Amino acid sequence: MAKNVDACSILSFSCLTGISFQNQRFSVNTMASDECDALQNDEVTVLESIYPTLLTTHPNPQASTQTHLSSTFKPRQSTSETPTGTLTVDHLPPLILRVLLPPIYPLSSPPHSISLRAPLPQSESVENKGNWLPKSVLKSFDSMLGQMWREEKEAMGEGQGVIWKWMDWIINGDCLVECGKIVDGVLNLGVPPTTDSSAFLASLKSYDATQKHSEFERTAFSCSICWENRKGNKCVQLECGCIFCTQCLSDCWTLAITEGTLESVACPSPPCVKQRALRDKMDSSSDVPSDLLESVVGPQLKERWASLKERRMAEIDPSYTVCPRPTCQAAVPPPAMPDTPTSAAPSSSKVIRLADFSSNPAESDPAPPEAPIAKEDRWAAYRSCPKCHFSFCLYCASTWHGPHTACSFPQVSGIVKEYLSHPEGSMERARIEKQKGKANIDRLVRQWQEDEMNRQWLEGRTRACAGCGVRVEKSHGCNHMTCGRCNAHFCYRCGDSISPLDPYQHFNTPGRPCFQKLFEVDSLGEPINVVLPEPEVEGTGDDFDEMDQWDMRLLVEW
């Protein structure tokens, strides 16, 4: 008959001990053998009652079982006095012991250790060899088993069962404290000679992640949305610690991505929502990892989320711009700064958008003497679209013309204003048309007039968000507005920012211009300043340019 018992080991971290018991046949007194066999069975029964989930008896002596226990200290791997790396884990690889129980154990013979190993976990990418504990430490653990039996025999006059005592010595961590491996609650590990430090740390980290994932899948959790208990394999745990069932979280994020409300692609629990409302609008610490998002909503919605996020970044961050190709319109980040400085003095940096050409050269101060141009300044206007790979100039929105060629139209707004300031048919207009090209001038004038009309329309019919500055048009309702982009609260009547904790205090404070102005009504109690749909203008059906509609969507946030 053979018994195989696995027990947990080494303090409170995940260490596993596979203990294989085998009976050895000797020619001994039958009565003594029966008594020893009964004591062995009693010892196994006691161990099973103390560790009901950590110990299993197998009829096959070659079988093995692994158990887990959480960690309360930080293992540190090191090959010298100065650690080469640190890692905090909850689970460590198994410690496996095989012992041979003679038929006269525990009365007349100690358990004989066959092997004690602490093998590194194997992975598909890396073949780990060696033990995560040195052989000298394992040897001291091994010898302690026989030493405990001899101490019990000297104290009691006959041998006693020591398997439980040895397991308790391992589980409580006294084994590592006595051998000097635990100092101030930190486990110091040496890198095996057959493994480099990076692979050693990666192996421990991978094993810890695997065990955590297995524990999570076996545990039942209550979804914070539907309040039903579900196993972890049907749930998702976010970085904030909140847990939701996959179906509820998928429905929530799918709706948010479809509607374009990116701020809702985050933890939907009320405490986290309140915390995000008080956080800086530019803070991206609440962003969901892309791999986690893809596992919940799928690759297609993940791509749409990434595209919307880039467009939002281009609209909020002034260092971003938009690809000038109408068929692309992707967000283009600023180029990376060069690592090596140049000999020329760098000029002051300035962020310029494609439509930021409002200054008039005639009204500006006289230009100072031309200074040497730094090499990084020559490439300051270079942009490359990460989506369509179109290389263009930030200033003129044309195909990149190189660092040594100046833009054809460095100040579009100034050129147009100068051109329109001269009478039609004058020599001055003819000179500008000859210098820049009449077709180009006509195009710039049309674009400038369209932008000017859009600007006047926006200033007359919309209000800028107090947070991100996006223009918002109110069709009906009260003057308490919540921006759909940055989630800021502001007053549509005066444009001031409103506290999200008490938004109506702004309208209930006597002496303020907006006191009791939450709703605008006339003398008959009818709402005023309500934007009605504009009537369709005759002749704009087939003549309406689709690009005009696209430009309007770019300028107005609905």
The enclosing domain of 278 has a CATH number of 3.30.40.10
241 and 109: one domain? Answer: no
In sequence order, what E strands does 439-557 have? 463-464, 471-472, 480-482, 489-491
Instruction: Judge whether 322 lies within some domain.
Output: no
118 and 236: one domain? Answer: no
In sequence order, what E strands does 119-264 have? 182-183, 186-189, 220-222, 229-231, 235-237, 243-245
The DSSP secondary structure of 405-417, one letter per residue, reads S--S-S-HHHHHH
Q: Which domain, by its residues, includes 430?
A: 411-461
Give the type of residue at 449.
Answer: Q
Return d(Cα 47, Cα 19) in angstroms, integer.
Answer: 12
pTM for this prediction: 0.49
Instruction: Judge whether 76 lies within some domain.
Output: yes
Instruction: Judge whether 367 lies within some domain.
Output: no
205 and 287: one domain? Answer: no
482 touches 492 (CB < 8 A): no
| Total length of the chain | 558
156 and 244: one domain? Answer: no
260 and 203: one domain? Answer: no
The DSSP secondary structure of 325-376, one letter per residue, reads -TTT--EEPPPPPPSS--SSPPPPP----TT-----TTTSPPPPPPPPPPHH
Question: What is the Rg, in whole angstroms, of the alpha carbon atoms belonging to the chain?
Answer: 37
Return d(Cα 492, Cα 497) in angstroms, integer.
Answer: 9
The pLDDT tens digits along the chain (558 residues) read: 233 333 332 322 233 333 444 444 444 456 667 778 888 788 878 877 877 766 655 554 543 434 333 344 445 444 445 556 677 777 777 777 777 777 777 777 787 777 777 777 765 555 556 777 777 777 777 777 778 888 877 777 777 777 777 777 777 777 777 777 777 777 777 777 777 777 778 888 888 888 888 888 888 888 888 888 888 888 888 888 888 999 999 999 999 999 888 888 889 888 888 888 877 554 555 578 888 888 889 889 988 888 888 878 777 776 788 888 888 888 888 877 654 444 434 444 444 444 444 444 444 444 444 434 444 456 777 889 988 999 988 767 788 888 887 666 556 677 788 888 899 889 888 888 876 678 778 887 888 888 888 888 888 888 888 888 888 888 878 889 988 878 889 999 888 999 888 888 999 999 888 988 888 765 555 656 544 444 444 444 444 444 444 343 433 333
289 and 389: one domain? Answer: no
355 and 446: one domain? Answer: no
Instruction: Judge whether 272 lies within some domain.
Output: yes
Helix (H, G, I), strand (E, B) or coil at 383: strand
521 and 551: one domain? Answer: yes
Instruction: Judge whether 321 lies within some domain.
Output: no
Report the pLDDT value the prediction gives residue 88, as an integer from 0 to 100.
Answer: 78
Instruction: Judge whether 484 lies within some domain.
Output: yes
Name the one residue in this structure whose structure tokens are 């002034």.
318
357 and 473: one domain? Answer: no
| Number of domains observed in the structure of the chain | 5
41 and 179: one domain? Answer: yes
197 and 227: one domain? Answer: no
- Torsions phi, psi for 121 (to 5 deg): -65, 145
H-only helix segments in 246-316: 246-259, 270-277, 290-297, 299-316
Instruction: Judge whether 237 lies within some domain.
Output: yes
Instruction: Judge whether 344 lies within some domain.
Output: no
Report the pLDDT value the prediction gives residue 365, as an integer from 0 to 100.
Answer: 46
Domain boundary among 162, 184, 210: 210
Helix (H, G, I), strand (E, B) or coil at 107: coil
In 3-state terms the chain splits into helix, strand, coil percentages (rounded to 5) of: 35, 15, 50
476 and 501: one domain? Answer: yes
